[in-house]
Amino acid sequence: MRWSSGRGLIATAAATISAALVLSASASAASPTGLAAQRAELVQRLAAIEGPRADARHDLLAAEQQLAVTQRRLLDARHHLAALDAKLLDLSRHIADNEHVLSTARRELAALLRSTYEVSGDDGFAGAILSAESFNEAMDRVRGAQHVTDQVQRLSRAVRTSEEALLSERNDLRDQFAHAEQLESQLGKDTNRMVVLVAQRTAALRDLDGPARVIAKQIADLDQQLAGPPSLLRGGCANHFAYGQCTYYVASRRCIPWFGNAWEWWHNAAVMGYPEGHTPRVGAIAVWGRRGHGASGVGHVALVEEVGPTADVPVEHFKVSEMNHSGWNRVNYRIVENDAVLGFIYFSER
């Protein structure tokens, strides 16, 4: 009995010690130092993803641009094909009209020849000359016959030249049409290939965006824990800002109980009791005025990540993370001068 009781006491003590160790580890992890270490690790992981993510975004943009160029070329090729087809149709009508005119001319010439050679009845042209009453009349008949012969030769040459020119033009247009059809077919294949490539690169970027968003959310949660609960929580901390905007990004990293455009945050935060100033601090919100130092008409906000002087940030400058500065729904980092902003909203003194 005593041995069983002893084993029970030992087991109970071991369980108590284990629970204490777990609680101690949890408390250590939940301490500001532990949270800061977790955040630093997550920032490193996010930075490691950001390079391939930026490359994937660049590759996607290049593919989209190439697709747009190919689609424009395909549209131009189709317009060219339509123009060539219209020319071929018009030329075919022109050839048909010319053939009708030439056929009529041939019939008229044939009739003229018959009337000339049959003018003297059954004796023919020789009889017509021999039956002439004078030398002059005979010469007139010879000259008349020669004139008809010359007309026949000239019109024959004109007919032949016209037909050759029209047929050559039609053959040339047909060659152009065949080449344009080949180009259209190739551009159609290129377009299909580029559509597939854009889809693949979109999927590749999405695969990198997913983990990056998860890490960014974890960093935002840690920032909220490090910042502590706000003293004035009017309106709650739900992110009620437009997705992909600078305000949305900052509200995903900080508890923002107020509303308004970016430039209005300076006033709205002060009204709710948040301290403000003109000195950058890590974790503070940098606020730009309307159209101030590159901001838009609704201002701009960003999160201060690092304050100079450091190895990466010069004196009188600070580093921010932000969204919608280099593109909608895109997070980027940049160095900013201290006096380039309207001011800073602090989260560590409440």
CATH superfamily of 228-350: endopeptidase domain like (from Nostoc punctiforme) (3.90.1720.10)
Average of per-residue pLDDT across 262-279 = 93
The upper half-sphere exposure of residue 170, i.e. CA atoms within 13 Å in the direction of its Cβ, equals 15
Own/partner long-range contacts of 46-52 (Cβ < 8 Å, ≥24 apart): 46/212, 46/215, 46/216, 46/219, 49/208, 49/211, 49/212, 49/215, 50/212, 52/208
Q: Is the dihedral of CA 275, 281, 287, 289 positive or negative?
A: positive
Distance CA 51, CA 56 (A): 9
Whole-structure pTM value: 0.42
- Decide: residue 43, CB within 10 A, 0-12 exposed, 13-18 middle, 19+ buried: middle
pLDDT tier, 251 (very low <50, low <70, confident <90, very high otherwise)? very high
What residues does each domain of the chain span?
Answer: 53-225, 228-350
Rank 6-10, 22-26, 213-217 by mean pLDDT and report only the highest. Answer: 213-217
Tell the residue number behind the tokens 């030769």, with chain if given.
153
pLDDT, tens digit, 9 for 90 and up, residues 283-330 = 999 999 887 777 888 899 999 999 988 888 898 999 999 998 888 889
Between residues 345 and 115, the one the model is more confident about: 345
Nearest to 343 by CA among 305, 289, 293: 289
pLDDT computed for residue 34 by the predictor: 82
> What are the helix (H) ranges across the chain?
2-30, 32-117, 124-130, 135-227, 246-253, 265-271
Contact status, residue 257 vs residue 251, Cβ threshold 8 Å: no
Phi, psi (degrees; rounded to nearest 5) at 193: -65, -40
Class of domain 53-225: mainly alpha
